[in-house]
Structure 1
Amino acid sequence: MVESKKLWMLAGPAIFTSICQYSLGALTQTFVGQVNALALAAVSVENSVIAGLAFGVMLGMGSALETLCGQAYGAGQITMLGIYMQRSWVILFVTSLFLVPIYVFSPPILKLFGQTDEIADATGKFALWMLPQLFAYALNFPIQKFLQAQRKVLVMAYVAGVVLVIHVLLSWLLILKLGWGLVGAAVSLNFSWWLVVLGQLAYIFIWKSDGAWTGFSFQAFKDLFSFVKLSLASAVMLCLEFWYLMIVTVLAGHLNNALIAVDGISVCMNINGWDFMIALGFNIGISVRVSNELGAGKPRAAKFAILVVSATSISIGLVCMALVLGTRDYFPYIFTNTAEVRKEVTKLSPLLAITVLLNSLQPVLSGVAIGAGWQALVAYINIGCYYIVGLPAGLLLGFKFGFGIEGVWGGMTGGIVLQTIILTIITSCTNWKKEASEAGNRFRKWGGSVAED
């Protein structure tokens, strides 16, 4: 019960924060959908493809901070957290500059992948207006990892909740009331993301840092190469996971009766996205618990935390799985009036239920990997399981053997199952005393010299 309380104090606000931030883009699409079909397509494609690509890269690069800040906090070296956050800001700002061309040249890129000229050009215009959001990502993810490591997740939840309310009001005013359309969507979404950043920074700079923030320092530019290596490993690990099921939607567009297939899989992925926000909260909770306990030299506590969060998350996953199966004839009506699409969604519901269940354990194991600093190892596992086994299996079942979208999704689900089994075995066989020792070595390598100065 004590460990469960610690978990929910982290995971609960993290789930709320994830849902609020996920809803910023989703609600913008909802308001723009009242304008016209082209505007909705432009926002949807930019949000899911262009910004989705950037979101995955930046979240992954920022996740290196989750390992280092969590272990430094556990070791009692609080002042290092601010240094680590500044290093991550430097790295993510440079990463943002490398991503700018994707925004600038998005129309020809989208046309290359088969998007219509009309939608690609509208998306490209909207993508240019959304460049401020990209740089908000560069600041936001390091700030969140900095706060999460100190277990200050409630402040993130408060900021996210307030910003979501402001975003709804501002979007209604600019997009519908004043008739600004896409311009209003860009202004409200950029403003909201920067409001999230500024609200969190105000808490750190003005109200409470507990010694974790000691001001800007040139120490942020030390040991950048080692920091970049861990950041790249984190980015590869998370991006391979983040983009994997997005491929299902892309492949659905190449099947017979593609419109029904794409609509059906989109409804399922929408449900899966909301469910994944719950899983993401547990991912954050266990990564903080593991990194803190390893940094404090408490391997048994880290192992016990993994057992508790796994049992909790799987229990919730079973409930969500039962809900999907129990309502598979009814929930499609929420999303569509087309009988063929509803039938397709009902047919895909068993696969959705399996994916929802896998969501309950797989992100937890990824969170353990982040907390322990195994990002490079898991990146290799993801490449093998997802793109060498799962994706070819999906292509064979879907196209070669004619199982359609069920075959594509089923084959790729096999890759997730294989990855989950491998990570379960690795976690079960880990020498946690050795991992606690490695955490100490990592801190001495990347932070000890600075702390001594």
Structure 2
Amino acid sequence: MATPNGEPVAASSHPSPYSSSPVAAASLARDLSEYLLYAQFDDDDSGSETEPSSVKLAVGTPDVSMASSYRRPSITAVGPRPTVLSAARLPEGSRLPKGGWEAVKKDERSLLRDNHVLPPKPSVAGGLTRLFSRAGAREDEPAAAAAAPTETSALLGGEEPQAEAGIAKQWEEAVLSGKIQTTWRREAKTIGRYSRSLIVTFILQYSLTVASVFTVGHLGKVQLGAVSLATMTSNITGYAIYQGLATSLDTLCAQAYGSGRKKLVGLQLQRMVYFLWVITIPIGIVWLSAGAVLRRVVPDPELGDLAGKYLKILLIGAPGYACFESGKRYLQAQGLFNATLYVLLFCAPLNALMNWLFVWKFGWGFVGAPIAVSITDTLLPLCLLLYVRFVDGMACWNGFTYHAFLNWGPMIRLALPGLLMVEAEFLAFEILTLASSYISTTHLAAQSVLVTLTSMTFQIPFPISIAASTRIANLIGATLSEAAKISAKVALVAATIVGLLNMVLLSSLRNFIPQLFTDDPDVIEMVANVLPLCAAFQLFDALAANCSGILRGLGRQRIGGWTNLFCYYAVSNSNPACGILESKG
């Protein structure tokens, strides 16, 4: 095993943080053994990677150049409370995605400069000083000749090739000698850089739901309550299933990509799409019959009828949504994390425009909202397809093949745990919506507005927690525990600031915000009365999210998982029943 510069790396006694999943490894081995003879899977990797083809990630060598510094936790479900599962773990010998080694080297050089292991980066002022000093000493021709650029000089003031070749060795020596330290400013900048695109992505994706609530809410509280009821049903019986099952691709696609057989990534994508389309059949049966079921579950029959109509139209876009969830993982396995952001930057504003056009401009009323959502769900995978075809990602596409209908067992076994985790997260919050429908339509409409608001504010601290978990995991992987402590403190301070800002926003605008969602005075009054309570827990919500991120970075997800399970089901969901009894009494 070697570093990027070909230097040997000693094996470590520490367990690898990127150990392979046995199920995924067996699946990959079977794919390779069965399909390796086919030309379509015989990859030519020459020139496709920026790092040397011989570069591998050594098992248990965390001091090798912070090799995970480019990674993001990619297994995320977007809902009332997005869920992060364990990040995809690459097997021994995995290659870094495109641009990975450049990001690693940049991080190394920056930290080495800050800790005075490397000389500071040349500045413009320093360059001018040297220029004028040379101009004033032209008579000293030998000195001028020595300072003149040569064929090996860096064009933009970067390191010489010889210096660049020794970065990995200097980094390893500095880490082992304890010279690498970080600062609050550096960690704040790093977490901010990691989280800014994530915040935009999460807000844009959640805006697809907000747009329907926003436009339909002004039709009346019955319509607003029906949208909330339909969204609850679609999340529990459809979207959570798609997102949970698709999480297996974060392991399978990453391992296929890491093996060097990139075409197998496209094979895993096709398998999951076909599998989710098969799952769409029972989901469709549930959605088509949801109206009749909801009429018997909720007290107001009109709510059940409207929610059932919403779900029937929403079913049109379900196959597209399944493709989108699979396509995201296909691109993320290649390190193309911004592809989803670019797609949402186009589709989210278009979704809001279609909601306004269909509901109000064209006069379609309530049915206009699910039509807009269905069109958006269909456009999302098409836009991803255009990105792959014309921007990046085609290197892993193998063309359509019948092999995608084989070897489904490992994929399903990996998908079921992700399904259970995401489903539990969705169900915990959707129970509140169902419980509020038993009080009155006004309570259900108010619940819809409150959940939308608090979920939207959560889309800021949650991406920060993802960035914090990534950064902390990177630093611990590089054996920089003190730096990881500083990063954790910075994340908690950032969460406190965001929580306080959300608290001030909701409390100060409590009489104005409800009017954006509905014109019903009873709903507005109820939301305004409850918003101060929602504002009060914003600080603790943000802190809890980032504490979970720190636990993920430490690899202690089990602690956070059991804590959330107890709080959601033993504490939180006991309160709605008490509220209903008090209201009935």
Q: TM-score, normalised by structure 2?
A: 0.56
Query: Shift of the alpha carbon at 1:374?
Result: 8.1
Instruction: Give runs of aligned pairs for residues 308-347 of structure 1, distance below 5 A.
Output: 309-328=491-510, 331-332=513-514, 334-335=516-517, 344-347=526-529
Partner of 2:290: 106
Structure 1, unaligned runs of 5 or more: 406-453
Equivalent pair of 1:63/1:370 in contact (CA under 8 Å): no
Q: 1:272 aligns with which of 445, 454, 466?
A: 454
Q: Distance in 1 between matches of 2:541 and 2:380?
A: 27
> Counterpart of 1:208 in 2: which secondary structure?
coil
Instruction: State, as a whole percentage, how many aligned pairs show the same letter.
Output: 26
Query: Shift of the alpha carbon at 1:313?
Result: 3.5
Give the letter aligned to residue 324 of structure 1: L
Q: Please list the CA deviations of residues 228-251 of structure 1 after superposition, one character each: whole Å capped at 9, or x if unmatched.
A: 233222222222222323322332
> Counterpart of 2:244 in 1: which secondary structure?
helix
Equivalent pair of 1:234/1:375 in contact (CA under 8 Å): no
> Counterpart of 1:102 in 2: which secondary structure?
helix
Partner of 2:380: 196
Q: Distance in 1 between matches of 2:302 and 2:371?
A: 22
Q: 1:3 to 1:218 in 2, by over 3 A?
A: farther
> Counterpart of 2:338 in 1: which secondary structure?
helix
Query: Shift of the alpha carbon at 1:222?
Result: 6.6
1:155 aligns with 2:336: no
Q: Distance in 1 between matches of 2:513 and 2:568?
A: 29
Equivalent pair of 1:89/1:138 in contact (CA under 8 Å): yes
Partner of 1:21: 205
Equivalent pair of 2:214/2:517 in contact (CA under 8 Å): no
Q: Distance in 2 between matches of 1:39 and 1:396?
A: 24
1:398 aligns with 2:398: no
Q: Please list the CA deviations of residues 345-375 of structure 1 after superposition, one character each: whole Å capped at 9, or x if unmatched.
A: 4543453134423442444566678889988
1:252 aligns with 2:458: no
The count of aligned residue pairs is 397
Equivalent pair of 2:495/2:539 in contact (CA under 8 Å): no
Say which structure, 1 or 2, has more relative contact order (CA 8 Å, 6+ apart).
1
Give the letter aligned to residue 450 of structure 2: C
Query: Shift of the alpha carbon at 1:196?
Result: 1.4
Equivalent pair of 1:317/1:359 in contact (CA under 8 Å): yes
Q: 1:319 to 1:69 in 2, by over 3 A?
A: farther
Equivalent pair of 1:267/1:345 in contact (CA under 8 Å): yes
Point out the more displaced range, 4-13 or 317-326. Answer: 4-13
Q: 1:373 to 1:108 in 2, by over 3 A?
A: farther
Point out the more displaced range, 124-133 or 181-190. Answer: 181-190
Query: Shift of the alpha carbon at 1:220?
Result: 5.3
Q: Distance in 2 between matches of 1:170 and 1:336?
A: 19
> Counterpart of 2:535 in 1: which secondary structure?
helix
Aligned-residue RMSD, C-alpha = 4.3
Partner of 1:94: 278
Equivalent pair of 2:288/2:312 in contact (CA under 8 Å): yes
Q: 1:297 to 1:116 in 2, by over 3 A?
A: same
Query: Shift of the alpha carbon at 1:139?
Result: 1.2
Instruction: Give runs of aligned pairs for residues 268-307 of structure 1, distance below 5 A.
Output: 268-282=450-464, 285=467, 298=478
Q: Distance in 2 between matches of 1:364 and 1:221?
A: 41
Equivalent pair of 1:50/1:106 in contact (CA under 8 Å): no
Equivalent pair of 2:228/2:433 in contact (CA under 8 Å): no
Query: Shift of the alpha carbon at 1:103?
Result: 0.7
Query: Shift of the alpha carbon at 1:108?
Result: 1.9
Equivalent pair of 1:149/1:288 in contact (CA under 8 Å): no
Equivalent pair of 1:230/1:376 in contact (CA under 8 Å): no
**Structure number with larger C-alpha Rg:** 2
Q: Please list the CA deviations of residues 310-360 of structure 1 after superposition, one character each: whole Å capped at 9, or x if unmatched.
A: 553443223223433444465455556667655544543453134423442
Equivalent pair of 2:288/2:311 in contact (CA under 8 Å): yes
Query: Shift of the alpha carbon at 1:165?
Result: 3.2
Q: 1:286 to 1:71 in 2, by over 3 A?
A: farther
Structure 2, unaligned runs of 5 or more: 1-184
Say which structure is richer in helix. Answer: 1
Equivalent pair of 1:67/1:372 in contact (CA under 8 Å): no
Give the letter aligned to residue 279 of structure 2: T
Q: Please list the CA deviations of residues 161-220 of structure 1 after superposition, one character each: whole Å capped at 9, or x if unmatched.
A: 222333344444444444444554444322222111111122123421274444456675
Query: Shift of the alpha carbon at 1:105?
Result: 0.8
1:351 aligns with 2:541: no
Point out the more displaced range, 90-99 or 366-375. Answer: 366-375
Q: 1:210 to 1:259 in 2, by over 3 A?
A: closer
Q: 1:197 to 1:355 in 2, by over 3 A?
A: farther
Q: 1:55 to 1:361 in 2, by over 3 A?
A: farther
1:237 aligns with 2:421: yes
1:120 aligns with 2:301: no
Q: Distance in 2 between matches of 1:312 and 1:299?
A: 24
Equivalent pair of 1:51/1:134 in contact (CA under 8 Å): no
> Counterpart of 1:99 in 2: which secondary structure?
helix
Q: Distance in 1 between matches of 2:413 and 2:488?
A: 26
Instruction: Give runs of aligned pairs for residues 200-215 of structure 1, distance below 5 A.
Output: 200-209=384-393, 211-215=395-399
Partner of 2:229: 45
> Counterpart of 2:298 in 1: which secondary structure?
coil
Query: Shift of the alpha carbon at 1:282?
Result: 3.7
Q: Distance in 1 between matches of 2:334 and 2:242?
A: 21
Q: Distance in 2 between matches of 1:217 and 1:270?
A: 42
Q: Distance in 1 between matches of 2:466 and 2:388?
A: 20
Partner of 1:228: 412
Query: Shift of the alpha carbon at 1:40?
Result: 5.6
Equivalent pair of 1:64/1:234 in contact (CA under 8 Å): yes
Equivalent pair of 1:10/1:153 in contact (CA under 8 Å): no
Q: Please list the CA deviations of residues 269-293 of structure 1 after superposition, one character each: whole Å capped at 9, or x if unmatched.
A: 22102112224434654676688x5
Q: 1:137 aligns with which of 313, 317, 321?
A: 321
Q: TM-score, normalised by structure 1?
A: 0.70
Q: Please list the CA deviations of residues 32-55 of structure 1 after superposition, one character each: whole Å capped at 9, or x if unmatched.
A: 556677666654532343356422
Q: Distance in 2 between matches of 1:154 and 1:26?
A: 22
Equivalent pair of 2:465/2:549 in contact (CA under 8 Å): yes
Equivalent pair of 1:61/1:231 in contact (CA under 8 Å): yes
Q: Distance in 2 between matches of 1:145 and 1:273?
A: 24
